[in-house]
Amino acid sequence: MVPDVSTGSRTRGLLSYLFGPGRRDEHTDPHIVAAFAMPGLPDPGRSPLDRHHALLDQLADYLDQPVRAREMRLGAMVPQHVWHCPVRTAPGDRYLTDAEWAEVARRIVNATGIAPDRDDKGCRWIAVRHADDHIHIMATTVREDGRRPRNKRDGQRAQAVCRKIEKELGLRQLNPGDGTAAPMPTSAEQAKAQRNGHQQTAKEWLLEQAQAVAAAVRDEQEYFSTLTALGIQIRYRIGPDSGDVLGYSLARPGDVNAQGDPVYFGGSKLSPDLSVNRLRERLAAQQPTVPERPAVEPDRWRQAETALVGTVRFAFPGQDGADEDAGGGDQDGAMQAQAAAFGELLHTAALTAPAHTRAELRAAATAFNRATRSKIRAEHQQAAALRSAAKELLHAAGSGKDGAAAAALLSTALFVLIAIARWHESRGHRQQAAAAQQALVHLRSAYRQAAEPVMADLTRRTPTPATTDRLAAHVHAAVPDHAQRILADPSWPALATALAQAETSGQPPHRALAEAARQRELTTADRPAEVLLWRLRNATTDRLDQRAHIALTRTGSHTPTAPATATPTTAPTGPQPAHDHTRRR
């Protein structure tokens, strides 16, 4: 059950909407189900058509009487005196009768302070139903005694009472909010997007673009210049004395109001972590870029996967290969930072992953955005390595053409995402845990898309039965507790090929398996053979890269190249601003 509190100044205008046909003729049988005083109250929805407008005027005047009395007494208009709270059940919930909706309305106006129980001096209010799944509660926020109601934090109070009502009425129990969610688009914004033929509202589109850019850039100037290159208009809030940027707002290209002016949304209004101060915290917590490339160009996917393995130390302290003291004194702050950096990794991976996986990765990154912030303040320095590796993925386009490195990264990412979801759940972060679970669905799909071609190729090249049996014996010796599950895993033939390749590179199979098993626990793995396969592939590739580096060093055939410039691939090629807009001289 979702309440959505807002305020306005036009009683008659809101009534016209509530008792009218709706923007798309979606209002059916609008009528009052509850009110501050039901007997004798005019109901324009159940009246003859020729009296409809007269009754709307009469009802508006009746609701506004305390407002007009206060204005006459004070000699000033009462600002934003119309209180509006639509309340909607979740998809799939059972049908509620008018009597049940009436009780919901009475409990909400009581909980929010609009009309407390047994208070005859409360505000005047009505609840209108014009659809099966929701009602609209409206009130005029001047009490009968002429005072304004004590309705501070009314949105949070409405949410809290709705959680109780859900349990009592047997409805789907939604996750409580914690004040860190990005604001939802309004119905007016959604209608505007539909009129303009857009699948997303301007707010949603700007949020998606800004999150992706923030994940890709390395400093504040690059953040704003990349947004400008995307065609997004920026309006800065400048300190009058210092000339520093204190805030900013963004406008979608072509999104204008009735006067033709751009419609701006503040960074913090798009999402709390996009405020200028939160951005500066994130961007400052980064490792410096290596000024010169090594002799052998690294596989950025394997670098990111190695950094991601470090997150396991925060998620599973005390496990084999994990450091019990990882994260320092503020374990929760470090874990929240790892979650935020993991969100950036999903965004950059979606830009450079194999093309057939990008749609699911974008969906995973968008879903996970809600899990990147909570009431716990992130200690961003604790995730500097992962954040730096995430940005390095922007240089990965065209590397790892067979997709194996990307699949290995996504395999580890699944493990980390499950850990983040469990951490959020253990801390009572229900919305964040739900977002992580939603992202997990898309990430699993992306992983399968990346892994299946690689697995199929390895399975086709499985060694002879005699060699496979010999390698199976090594599995029993190296990981006896999981040997039966590994050998029964459909991925065992592919793992046998990877083991044979590791042996060819000079790694004894027993040792290679033991080292791979230590990097991640196997008890929770659905397919333990796949987990070991990617560990082995990475170790084998690293060993071959080291030999190539040694060979190049010996022959002196390497010519150092100039360091790469980290240009985010989120922005199209185009002219960059000639000066820094982030400070006015």
* Residue 369 and residue 273 in contact, taking contact as beta carbons nearer than 8 Å: no
Looking at per-residue pLDDT, the higher value among 562 and 61 belongs to 61
Asked if residue 565 has pLDDT above 50, the reply is no
Interacting residues of 7 by C-beta distance below 8 A, sequence separation 6+: 80, 81, 82, 83, 84, 141
* 250 touches 264 (CB < 8 A): yes
Whether the CB-CB separation of 516 and 536 falls below 8 Å is answered with yes
pLDDT for 502 beyond 60: yes
Name the nearest CA neighbour of 79 among 28, 141, 34. 141
* Per-residue model confidence (pLDDT) at position 518: 81
| Burial class (CB within 10 angstroms; exposed 0-12, middle 13-18, buried 19+) of 72 | exposed
Q: pLDDT for 300-342, tens place per residue?
A: 887 888 888 777 666 665 444 444 444 444 788 889 999 999 9
348: helix, strand or coil: helix
Query: Is the pLDDT score of 216 beyond 90?
Result: no
C-alpha to C-alpha distances, 3 to 15, 29, 104, 109, 468, nearest whole angstrom: 19, 21, 11, 11, 61
Cα separation, 27 vs 367, whole angstroms: 31
Q: What domains can be seen in the chain, in order of their start residue?
A: 2-169 (3.30.930), 187-284 (no CATH), 296-452 (no CATH), 461-555 (no CATH)
Q: Which of 80-84, 238-242, 326-330, 434-438 has the lowest mean pLDDT?
A: 326-330
Percent of the chain with pLDDT over 70: 84
CA distances from 114 to 57, 121, 162, 518 (A): 23, 10, 16, 59
The reported pLDDT for the residue numbered 247 is 93
What would the pLDDT profile of 120-161 be if each residue is shown by its tens digit?
Answer: 999 999 999 988 889 999 999 999 999 999 999 898 899 999
Question: Higher pLDDT residue, 403 or 382?
Answer: 382
The whole-angstrom separation of Cα 5 and Cα 136 is 10
Token pair 């604001």 is found at 183
Q: Please, how many CA atoms are within 13 Å of residue 90, restricted to the half-sphere of its CB?
A: 13
Burial 149-163 (b: 16+ CB within 10 A, else e): bebeebbbbbbbbbe
Split at pLDDT 50, 70, 90, the class of 90 is confident
Q: What is the mean pLDDT of the segment spanning 447-452?
A: 92
**534/451 Cα distance (integer angstroms):** 10
Taking residues 172-183, report their average pLDDT: 71
pLDDT, tens digit, for every residue of 25-47?
Answer: 577 789 999 999 877 788 898 88
Which amino acid is residue 226, in one-letter code? T
Residue 224: per-residue pLDDT: 94
Greatest alpha-carbon span in the chain: 98
Q: In the structure, what pLDDT confidence band is assigned to residue 449 with cuts at 50, 70 and 90?
A: very high
Please give the pLDDT value at position 314.
Answer: 65
Containing 356, the helix (H) or strand (E) segment is none
Q: How many CB atoms lie within 10 A of CB 71?
A: 15
Q: What percent of the chain lies above the pLDDT cut of 90?
A: 46
| Least confident residue range of 522-531, 543-552, 571-580 | 571-580
Residues whose CB falls within 8 Å of the CB of residue 349, separated by 6 or more in sequence, listed in order? 304, 361, 365, 390, 393, 406, 409, 410, 413
